[in-house]
Amino acid sequence: MDYQAKHRFADVGPRKLRLFADLIRGKNVDEALQLLAFYPNRGAKLVRAVVQSAYGNAEDRECPDPDGLVVSECRVDGAPTFKRIQPRARGTAFPIKRRMSHIIVTLSEPKSEFGGEGFAPGDAVLPPADAPAPAAPTEVPAPAPTA
What's the CATH number where 7 sits?
3.90.470.10
Q: What is the pLDDT of residue 133?
A: 72
What is the C-alpha separation between 47 and 29, in angstroms, rounded? 12
- Domains held by the chain: number: 1
Element (H, E) at 105: strand 101-108
Residue 142 lies in a domain: no
Looking at residue 146, its pLDDT comes to 80
**Closest C-alpha among 99, 107, 103, 17 to residue 61:** 107
Residue 85: predicted pLDDT? 96
- Kindly state whether residue 129 falls inside one of the protein's structural domains: no
Find how far residue 97's CA is from the centre of its chain.
27
User: Residue 111: what pLDDT?
Assistant: 78
Q: Do 50 and 10 form a contact (C-beta atoms < 8 A)?
A: no
pLDDT digits (tens, 9 = 90+) for 112-145: 655 555 555 556 666 676 777 777 777 777 788 8
Helix (H) or strand (E) holding 98: strand 93-98
pTM of the model as a whole: 0.73
Tell me how far apart the alpha carbons of residues 33 and 48 are, in angstroms, rounded to a whole number.
Answer: 6
CB distance 23 to 116 below 8 Å: no
Residue 93 pLDDT more than 60? yes
DSSP state of 132: P
The pLDDT of 90-100, averaged and rounded, is 96
Q: What pLDDT does residue 143 have? A: 80
Judged on CB neighbours under 10 Å (0-12, 13-18, 19+), 74 is buried
Residue 83 lies in a domain: yes
The range of the structural domain enclosing residue 102 comes to: 3-108
Q: Which amino acid is at 4?
A: Q
Residue 145 lies in a domain: no
> pLDDT tens digit string along 6-62?
999 999 999 999 999 999 999 999 999 999 999 999 999 999 999 999 999 999 998
Assess if residue 143 is contained within a domain. no
84 has a pLDDT exceeding 80: yes
**49/60 Cα distance (integer angstroms):** 16
Q: Is residue 44 assigned to a domain?
A: yes
Residue 120 lies in a domain: no
Going by C-alpha positions, the residue among 133, 125, 1 that lies closest to residue 63 is: 1
